[in-house]
Chains A and B, each alone.
Chain A
Amino acid sequence: DAGITQSPRHKVTETGTPVTLRCHQTENHRYMYWYRQDPGHGLRLIHYSYGVKDTDKGEVSDGYSVSRSKTEDFLLTLESATSSQTSVYFCAISASGGNSPLHFGNGTRLTVT
């Protein structure tokens, strides 16, 4: 495994509540990513980070925010969860961005009721 820990592994929350997912890495990689995986879709990028306090939006960023205050931690926040955000969320890390493979954590299954 690539030294990536996602927490929690499972969460059930109600519509309208805030939710924060955490990704912790021990590889000291510069790049970190949040993806969501849904049936019928490939992995879709939500946000990514290219360094401490440096983040950018991905393909499906609406309704999500991120923060990276330390190299090892990348947080994904749903300010007000909606049912459409029910998904499996994966964190990934990369040593050199798009020129090297991404290594993924084992995911967080989020259910919004």
Chain B
Amino acid sequence: GESVGLHLPTLSVQEGDNSIINCAYSNSASDYFIWYKQESGKGPQFIIDIRSNMDKRQGQRVTVLLNKTVKHLSLQIAATQPGDSAVYFCAERNSGGGADGLTFGKGTHLIIQP
């Protein structure tokens, strides 16, 4: 079954607001996490990653938070723009896994309202 999942399948936010997309994982042995953005008709696009020895990492307008205690990962998008509309999903890597060790969540559809 899915060890990586999302709390909400759809998230609707106002343009300019901050968005928070959540991801729960069940494998405490996971040591590497990645967030992807997927627009309609396109392949997943890498946004940001984080390793288990960190609890926060920032990129351009995005921040990923990792809470290993409750096995929770979140993606924060600041000042959401229309171009942020997409499906976002997380992936985790089991530390015992090799090159095939990534498990992907099903995704959250982020909708930006004007």
Q: Name A's B-contacting residues (CB within 8 A).
A: 4, 31, 33, 40-45, 48, 50, 56, 58, 90, 92, 94, 97-99, 101-107
Inter-subunit contact A41/B106 (CB<8 Å): yes
Chain A residues lying within 8 Å of B41, measured Cβ to Cβ, are 106-107
The one of B4, B97, B105 that contacts A98, using a Cβ cutoff of 8 Å: B97
Establish whether residues B44 and A98, one from each chain, have CB atoms under 8 Å apart when the complex forms: no
- As a 0/1 sequence over residues 81 to 114 of chain B, the CB contacts with chain A under 8 angstroms (1 = contact) are 0000000010101000111111111110000000
Pick from B44, B49, B99: contact of A104, CB below 8 A.
Answer: B44
Is there contact, CB below 8 Å, between A42 and B44?
no
**7 closest cross-chain pairs (CB), A and B:** A97-B99, A104-B43, A42-B104, A43-B104, A98-B101, A101-B46, A106-B43
Contacts of A106 in B (CB 8 A): 41-43
A102 touches B102 (CB 8 A): yes
B100 touches A45 (CB 8 A): yes
Residues of B within 8 A of A98 (CB): 32, 93, 97-102
Closest partner residue, chain B, to A106 (CB atom) = B43
CB within 8 Å of A: which B10-32 residues: 32
A101 touches B100 (CB 8 A): no
Assess the A101–B99 pair: CB atoms within 8 A: no
In the complex, which of the residues A33, A42, A103 contacts B4, with contact meaning CB atoms closer than 8 Å?
Answer: A42
Is the pair A107, B46 in contact by a Cβ cutoff of 8 Å? no
Question: B34 an interface residue at 8 Å Cβ cutoff?
Answer: yes
Chain A residues near B105: list those with CB within 8 A.
Answer: 42
